[in-house]
Chain A
């Protein structure tokens, strides 16, 4: 770096004594400032060691800063995508966990609400098989024919395979009652059975839990709820006979059962061809249902009784129920079938 200095301005420090006092002061300051302590050999080797150590550390970490910009950019984008995927996955897991906690909550509170059976949510109720009265398979002008197939039928059995076509009801309370588990309280057991049945749709697990309930609490206060759950489970398995046997054996009168169980029994009886008993149950349900039974139950009872009257060849009474149905439930789920039956010619006018 040997470049010409001939035309360079004079430095403050190189100027003669007659220069401006300010410049001479600046020269003094510059002179003081130009004196610096050079780095010692030990400092130099220390710096070199540190630099080499950092270089080695950099290699250990894939020497990221030495990579080309494109590689670094790709790595950063990949890292961001990975973070986003991880966050998304964590969010999904958290949502799943929160959902499972929400569904498990009724089990936890069951102990507190011993006196109340958990209500079925509309979604669960829709999924649970229940006895419904389809349009009577009557093609003739007569309202209902005695030789026609049973007007009331159960839904097709659930996909769960049934061991035997007619499954015997589980023994409710036989043998000496076992000592209840300290934690297995009465409400918890019934709630567990309901959870198995309505949330997991596992009728067998529900029945097993109810068996345990029957063994541990042979005269429990939740007996009716347990029976209701058992009937529901058995119906879900497609075993209508067992369901009817359970309800038949429990109480002779419908009002002792409760409205919903009585209605179920009436429909089961109608499905089994026991129309007279079914009419009796339907009538009791309808009499007791003024204001108390849900509209859906009332509708089912009225239509079911009309069908039963038809099967018993009591056309007038059947027609009266059908008219009452049409009046009360013009948009009901059997309304179209009821209209078709009423429009049909009465059997007396047939040739």
Chain B
């Protein structure tokens, strides 16, 4: 198995080759799946999904571990009725959603401020740029938090992952037409929420400046 080497695009995006759907299968193509092979092939994809779906608040390593624990436990139940990536994405999405719910509850109790941007790629950015990107990432996920799970998944897969509508449909087990509708609504809701937040922040900033004067 080839070791993983992240491929950085000129824009700074990190992508990995799409997993071969036949990886991990036996000689017949539909044989028993091997956990090690599945892990080696899909670990990075799962980690990336976890990071992009969860945002700056999730512990990607924990999520990936949870996902592969489930995979290890239930791999023998996988019937090849869908793509392996579809199955893995559904597990990841559920675990991330549960984790987000738990974190929201904990945040509500403890009033913790999220330590945003921990997983942001440092690259060659200056500290100021890193700080700016961290804030932008936080703002993105704050706006994303207003969307429901389906909209969130579709928006993340399309806008962040760069998947096509058909790929998104395959991963989310929806029809392409439904994905389009969901994406349209998700974008509208995202922009609305983003505007509302920015407006609120501007007003707060203005108020504090006036108070200082």
Contact = CB atoms under 8 A, between A and B. Distances in A.
Interface of A: 1-5, 7-9, 11-13, 22-23, 25-26, 28-39, 41, 43-44, 46-48, 50-51, 54-55, 58, 65-66
User: Top 5 A-B pairs ranked by shortest CB distance?
Assistant: A3-B166, A32-B136, A29-B140, A33-B140, A36-B51
A103 B205 CA distance: 83
Interface string B25-61: 0000000000010010001100110011001000011
Contact residues on B (Cβ < 8 Å of other chain), bracket: 35 or more
A25 B194 contact: yes
B121 A29 contact: no
Contacts of A28: 136
B20 to A, nearest CB: 10
Contacts of B55: 33
A39 B64 contact: yes
Given A33-B55, A47-B65, A4 B3 contact: no
B96 interface: no
A3 B44 contact: no
A13 B48 contact: no
Given A29-B136, A41-B3, A23 B191 contact: yes
Nearest to A4: B166
B6 to A, nearest CB: 5
Contacts of A3: 164, 166-167, 170
Interface in B1-39: 3-4, 6, 11-14, 16, 18, 21, 36, 39
B121 A65 contact: no
Given A9-B180, A26-B190, A47-B61, A36 B164 contact: no
Nearest to B76: A66
A30 B159 contact: yes
Contacts of B158: 8, 11
A58 B69 CA distance: 11
Interface in B128-146: 132-134, 136-137, 139-141, 143
B167 A51 contact: no
A35 B133 contact: yes
B18 A1 contact: yes
A43 B60 CA distance: 10
A22 B47 contact: no
A9 B65 contact: no
B195 A35 contact: no
Contacts of B65: 47, 50-51
Nearest to A50: B65
B167 A34 contact: no
Contacts of B143: 29
B91 interface: no
B64 A38 contact: no
Contacts of A11: 158-159, 162
B89 to A, nearest CB: 11
Contacts of B191: 22-23, 26
A2 to B, nearest CB: 8
A11 B51 CA distance: 20
A58 B70 CA distance: 12
A51 B72 contact: yes
Nearest to B118: A37
B60 A51 contact: no
Contact of A13 (B16, B133, B159): B159
B116 to A, nearest CB: 11
A51 B68 contact: yes
Contact of B121 (A12, A30, A37, A46): A37
A22 to B, nearest CB: 5
Contact of A7 (B68, B136, B165): B165
13 contacts: A1-B21, A1-B83, A1-B85, A11-B159, A12-B159, A23-B191, A35-B13, A35-B14, A36-B48, A38-B47, A46-B61, A54-B72, A58-B73
Most chain B CB neighbours (cut-off 10 Å) among A26, A35, A54: A35
A26 B190 CA distance: 8
A23 B48 CA distance: 24
B183 interface: yes
A34 B52 contact: yes
Contacts of B136: 28-29, 31-33
Given A9-B183, A22-B195, 4 more contacts: A32-B136, A35-B14, A47-B68, A48-B43
A70 B188 CA distance: 47
